[in-house]
Chains A and B, each alone.
Chain A
Amino acid sequence: MKTELTVNGRTHVVEIEPRTTLLDVLRDGLGLTATHAGCEHGVCGACTVLVDGEAVRSCLILGVQADGLDIRTVEGLTSGDGTLDIVQDAFCETHGLQCGYCTSGMILAAHALLRVNATPDEEDIREAISGNICRCTGYQQIVEAIALAAERMRTSNVLGAGEVVK
């Protein structure tokens, strides 16, 4: 089925079998492997992407359903030249990860939160990532990373720092 996917600002017209999830379309069809498969049944959150700015599990959307939606993945956060955005850099600063497998989903869940809440408290942050399972960190350094990112966005003098997903 012919589908128009807008991923990280670029529009692709792709032929998708209806049974293929958006997760598999991103990874296998578009080569965007930053989005990871964890459970494929909508519990672990490793496959989280942003759809119209909101965090969504890409294993719970069929590729054909994503027709016309604005999809963002971690590949779209930076230009790929080695610079990191504020959230990514905060995760490095607090070591908010270990194996890295849940990290893409965590970072996008953080973006979805920070888009609507510039001053999240710990409870807000824990709620925002409660649908993303991490087996390495026990979450604490992730919570610290997101709090740090929020703080840096608020205090940054860089134009648009708060609008991390452009």
Chain B
Amino acid sequence: MKPVQFDYVRPRTVEDACGILAGDMDARVLAGGQTLVPMLAMRLSRPSVLVDITRIEALRGITLTDDTVEIGAVTRQAAALASEVIRDEVPLLAKALRHVGHPPTRSRGTVGGSVAHGDPSAEIPLVMTVLGAGIVFTDDDGEEEAFEPADFFIGPMLTSAPMGGLLSRLVFSRRGSAPTGTGFREIASRRSDYAFASAGAQVVLKADGTCAEALLGIGSVGDTPVAVDVAGLSGTRLTDRDIRGAVAEALEDLETVDDLHATARYRKRAAARLAELALTEARDDALEQAG
């Protein structure tokens, strides 16, 4: 299990990296390498050159603006998990990051790498889908192009990443001051495996304790993570019955796939169960904040 021969470059700027990528169809970006290197080892990926972007300072770090949290693409997952800014401002992402791989893969794996790979069972893309976070690419002229998750994740390991562009940062909205509860659940054979089904939820409460906004997303069951419409929960008190009803209705047409480890119909039931659990967790979290 040794990779094919390739070249390796370590540019210091986004422009240099984009220039190399634009000039060679078989060039591949290397970030944390936690997914790419196994594919190299199995010779499933056969690049001409690897462009290591992890030393580009502009791509690293977590920045707080007036209304967003921006995460540089090569920020390590472990750093994101340890970030107080993310914990306070994007709590759903903080919860999901605990489920990403193991400590030794999180210490190298990058937040951007997980998004660029586009695995339908990956946690970070699911969170982005739930929250409608922005995915920003930069090209060699420094031009930026932003994508919505729904437009970006188009199939299993398939994204609409622009040719010659580099994923530079992810943009999340900061949570508001109203009680904002989050829930993240997934199920797999082993805790750290690719999930059979996963669910992320966020609810915001009004001052009277009713639901102002409810967001839900399902991952791992189909070609891409999907945002699921549970807007019907707005105005309710998010009782167990409300949640169960909304989930049942929202997931009725959910498309799921069969594979070696789980049947499609299992995935469908599991998605609903996890959705209920995630929404319930989010509600309880919000209620606790509301006191």
Contacts and interface: CB of A to CB of B under 8 A. Distances in A.
Q: Is chain B found bound to chain A in the same assembly?
A: yes
Interface of A: 1, 17-21, 24, 40-42, 45, 48, 51, 54-57, 59-62, 64-65, 67, 109, 112-113, 127-128, 130-131
A12 to B, nearest CB: 18
B207 interface: no
A102 to B, nearest CB: 13
Interface residues of B, number: 30
A59 B104 CA distance: 12
A62 B104 contact: no
Contacts of A59: 37, 41
A118 B133 CA distance: 37
B103 A19 contact: no
B5 A17 contact: yes
B132 interface: no
Nearest to A49: B104
Given A21-B37, A42-B38, A62 B108 contact: no
Contacts of B2: 19-20, 24
B191 interface: yes
Contacts of A24: 2
Interface of A is mostly: mixed
Given A19-B5, A54-B78, A60-B38, A65 B192 contact: no
A130 B99 CA distance: 12
Interface of B: 1-8, 10, 30, 33-34, 37-38, 40-42, 50, 52, 54, 78, 101-105, 107-108, 191-192
Nearest to B102: A131
B4 A19 contact: yes
B1 A1 contact: no
B104 A131 contact: yes
B221 to A, nearest CB: 23
A51 B107 contact: yes
